Amino acid sequence: MILSLIISLLAVQADTQLRGRIVDPVRAAVVGARITAVPDGGTTPAASTVSDDKGEFTLALIPGQYTITVTSDGFLDLAVPVTAAAAASDPREFMLTVAGVRETVNVSAPAGYQTSIVSSSTKTPTPLRDVPQSITVVTKELMRDQMMTSVADVVRYVPGIVAHQGENNRDQVIIRGNSSSADFFLDGVRDDVQYYRDLYNLERVEALKGSNAMIFGRGGGGGVVNRVSKVADFLPFNEFTFLGGSYDHKRVTADVDRALNKKAAGRFNAMYENSGSFRQDVAVERFGINPTLTLTPRAETRVTLGYEHFRDNRTADRGVSSYQNRPVDVDRSTYFGNPSDSTVHARVDVASATIEHQTGDLNIRNRTMAGGYERNYQNYVPGAVTADRSQVSLSAYNNDTERLNLFNQTDLRYTAWTGGIGHTLLAGAEVGRQVTDNFRNTGFFNNSATSILAPLSASVIRTPVTFRQSATDADNHLRARVAAVYGQDQIALSRVVQVIAGVRFDAFTLQYHNNRNGDDLERADRLVSPRAAIVVKPILPLSLYGSYTVSYLPSSGDQFSSLTTITEQVKPEKFDNYELGAKWDLAPNFSLTAATYQLSRTNTRSTDPNDPTRIVQTGSQRTRGFEVGINGHVTPRWQMAGGYTGQNAEVTSATVAARAGAQVAQVPHHTFSLWNTYQFHKRVSGGLGVVSRADMFATIDNTVVLPGYVDADAALYVALTWRLRLQANVENVFDRRYYVNADSNTNISPGSPRAVRVALVAKF
């Protein structure tokens, strides 16, 4: 009888349940949070679980006193004392605070292709699902699985972005119909010099689509690419990668992270590459080192220091010419010009310091970045092929650019509740100074002619070339200054409705000095960039949004490399982006996004129809499109990343470069990409990807067509031990012939033939 009573009582006690829900500061569900209950006076957890797709959980506990701890990536740990009563209580709500000083907002568990929280779009750590903007995040795991080494590799699988050739000496992207070589950022700070960036020291790359000058300032008409760097953490980590493959590809990387003591951690990333190419006599050698130091003198203060030294030396290669409105039919390896006399050199030295302090609900963050950039290139430029297809014209020039950048950003972030309405307030300021020197020479063949004809069948030439300044070559000195203030409020009107409103004011001044004739010109612009958006959450995993954003591009262009008496008087171009979208977390680690948008570009220069000697700002361009993205784990074994974009970018009012109705260069009507990895065995996984692109025009004159194509990639991953991973990737599995991009009608880049790369990754 007594034994039966004891068993009955224990059964009642064991049936007691603690129910709750984990939410973020705007009361959206936090999925996959770890909840642990430790009895008072004890150290061993009595029970633990993970929050479901609604943020809810249930713990079976014996009645008593407990400490409930809640942990989730991107949020501060939470510890709350609770009483588990004999009778089941009403569900409790546990609100997590987004990580500030000690934030770790990289990738949600399990590590993979999905990122749960970003701060670049709003300057506040915000769930990606609740950011009212189309954003594609490429994580270090996806970069590793595809053996990505460049920005061009990254954007192959990003909906809505096409890599421009950029004269094959720099990164350049076309986002929503707008081409730029300057809309690149490093940890939210402008990194606008023209060079090829590497990925060895990155946590992830974020492609933010649509105008957003409220956060990033001038430029960024179609969007921006933001690189998030690796920094020193307090967890021991060592990884070395040795890579080799087709066309003499050789590369090694290292990543070492150490806690130096309880208050300091150091990290060292390094890379060296010495590789050939399928292109004749084309090669690249580059290396980089990036040490970082993290200091936490107090629990609420974090200091991060970093420095990168990076060099990139390669053969300048402008690709192949065209014939009868198509890329000329020559072998993919055919080089035009003199490869031994064609070089690209870039040297980058960037130092940064970030100080972040949390005091109550106020977060203060100051970041300073100073960069010195040296870049020069000398190249041979293919021109038109003769009518009988026997010869091709060639010209040559070289160019040297030196730039010093200094930027400082200060952000104040404050969270508050007023009458049941939540506010995440942002106030900030940015100051910057950029000093640039440009110098260009024209090539004279045999010291006399600026162009020659070479046989198409033997386009590699050794004709002597003398490089000197022509009458119009650049020799100038420029100083750019920016001072900006901005404010933003993310308002949680309820669990269902959120609003974002903000505005930025930029004072941008450019001073230009022509060393050739002593001319001094100056242009000052005052730019007001608003942002407004609404997010509606009919159910917790689903966010529907609408937004309006604005950006401006000063008349000196995104590289502000020159100023003339005409551009000195011209107003900045304006970019208005209207976007409607949806983001749906179909599962805790699987998301689907969709967006439809219209981006209008106005104040573009045009020739006055009544006076051809005058310039008027009546030109305009419009891009309309629809985009779908997919990312994450379909099942625990299967994950994918990719998407589709359908868009039409056209000149809506004549410009100096194009007639009304012309299609914008290198903006295909349809692009599709999908990358999959599947774990067949605990030690063996495979990858399969496909990239498809419709036809597109090489330039705005709509004469030369780059044919559409379908390309397939594959990979195999084998875990030899828990320390060693062997990886093999095959690019262009079916060896299809295609053309990636162009810089002009006669500078077209062929795609790579089938290529195999093998990597050994060692972790310890």
Residue 12 sits in a domain of what CATH number? 2.60.40.10
Q: Which of 282, 394, 324 is nearest to 752 (CA)?
A: 282
DSSP 26-88: T--B-TT-EEEEEETT--S-SEEEE--TTSEEEEE--SEEEEEEEE-TTB--EEEEEEE-SSP
Contact 303, 353 (CB under 8 A): yes
Mean pLDDT across 683-697: 96
Is there a single domain that holds both residue 84 and residue 168? no
C-alpha distances out from residue 705 to 46, 328, 736, 738, 745, Å: 67, 11, 18, 12, 9
Long-range CB pairs of 676-679, under 8 A, 24+ apart, other chains included: 676/638, 676/639, 676/640, 677/145, 677/638, 677/639, 677/640, 677/715, 677/717, 678/637, 678/638, 679/637, 679/638
Is there a single domain that holds both residue 241 and residue 390? yes
Residue 101 lies in a domain: no
> Last residue of some domain: 175, 198, 229?
229
Residue 224 sits in a domain of what CATH number? 2.170.130.10
Residue 509 lies in a domain: yes
Is there a single domain that holds both residue 266 and residue 131? no
Q: How far is CA 81 from its chain centroid?
A: 42
Helix or strand (DSSP H, E) at 417: strand 391-418
Mean pLDDT across 374-396: 96
What pTM was computed for the model?
0.87
Is there a single domain that holds both residue 608 and residue 650? yes
> Last residue of some domain: 64, 95, 126?
95
Residue 107 lies in a domain: no
> For 567-624, how does the pLDDT look when each residue is reduced to its tens digit (9 = 90+)?
888 899 999 999 999 999 988 789 999 999 999 999 988 776 776 667 778 889 999 9
Q: Determine the Cα–Cα distance for residues 590 and 724; give it in Å rounded to an integer.
A: 28
pLDDT of 382:
97
Residue 100 lies in a domain: no
Strand partners, 483: 431, 507
Is there a single domain that holds both residue 221 and residue 257? no
- Whether the predicted pLDDT of 104 surpasses 60: no
Is there a single domain that holds both residue 80 and residue 143? no
Contact 294, 303 (CB under 8 A): yes
Q: Is beta strand 223-229 parallel, antiparallel or unpaired with respect to 184-186?
A: parallel
Is there a single domain that holds both residue 82 and residue 130? no
Tokens, residue 51:
């929050």
Q: How many CB atoms lie within 10 A of CB 304?
A: 21
Q: Determine the Cα–Cα distance for residues 147 and 757; give it in Å rounded to an integer.
A: 8
Structural domain including 273 reads 237-763
- Whether the predicted pLDDT of 216 surpasses 80: yes
pLDDT top residue among 567 and 662? 662
Residue 168 lies in a domain: yes
Residue 319 sits in a domain of what CATH number? 2.40.170.20
Q: Determine the Cα–Cα distance for residues 373 and 196; give it in Å rounded to an integer.
A: 12
Mean pLDDT across 664-671: 96
Q: Determine the Cα–Cα distance for residues 385 and 545; give it in Å rounded to an integer.
A: 50
Residue 103 lies in a domain: no
Q: How sure is the predictor about 88, in pLDDT bands with cuts at 50, 70 and 90?
A: low
> For 309-360, how does the pLDDT look when each residue is reduced to its tens digit (9 = 90+)?
999 999 999 999 999 999 999 999 999 999 999 999 999 999 999 999 988 8
Q: What rounded mean pLDDT belongs to the chain?
A: 90
- Whether the predicted pLDDT of 14 surpasses 80: no
- Whether the predicted pLDDT of 29 surpasses 90: no
Mean pLDDT across 630-635: 92
Is there a single domain that holds both residue 147 and residue 278? no
Q: How sure is the predictor about 44, in pLDDT bands with cuts at 50, 70 and 90?
A: low
Q: What's the Rg (C-alpha) of the chain?
A: 28
Q: How far is CA 212 from its chain centroid?
A: 14
Helix or strand (DSSP H, E) at 6: helix 2-14
Residue 110 lies in a domain: no
- Whether the predicted pLDDT of 45 surpasses 80: no
pLDDT of 39:
77
Is there a single domain that holds both residue 50 and residue 136? no
Q: How sure is the predictor about 131, in pLDDT bands with cuts at 50, 70 and 90?
A: very high
Q: How sure is the predictor about 720, in pLDDT bands with cuts at 50, 70 and 90?
A: very high
Q: How sure is the predictor about 109, in pLDDT bands with cuts at 50, 70 and 90?
A: very low
pLDDT of 19:
84
Mean pLDDT across 720-725: 91
Tokens, residue 146:
């595809």
Q: How sure is the predictor about 168, in pLDDT bands with cuts at 50, 70 and 90?
A: very high
Q: What percent of the chain has pLDDT over 70?
A: 94
Instruction: Count the domains in the chain.
Output: 3
Q: Determine the Cα–Cα distance for residues 82 and 400; give it in Å rounded to an integer.
A: 67
Is there a single domain that holds both residue 449 and residue 426? yes
Which residue type is seen at 96?
L
Mean pLDDT across 164-187: 95
Contact 142, 113 (CB under 8 A): yes
Mean pLDDT across 48-56: 78
Is there a single domain that holds both residue 54 and residue 156? no
Tokens, residue 47:
């029970």
C-alpha distances out from residue 92 to 23, 53, 96, 467, Å: 11, 17, 13, 75
Residue 108 lies in a domain: no
> Last residue of some domain: 95, 129, 151?
95
Is there a single domain that holds both residue 142 and residue 56? no
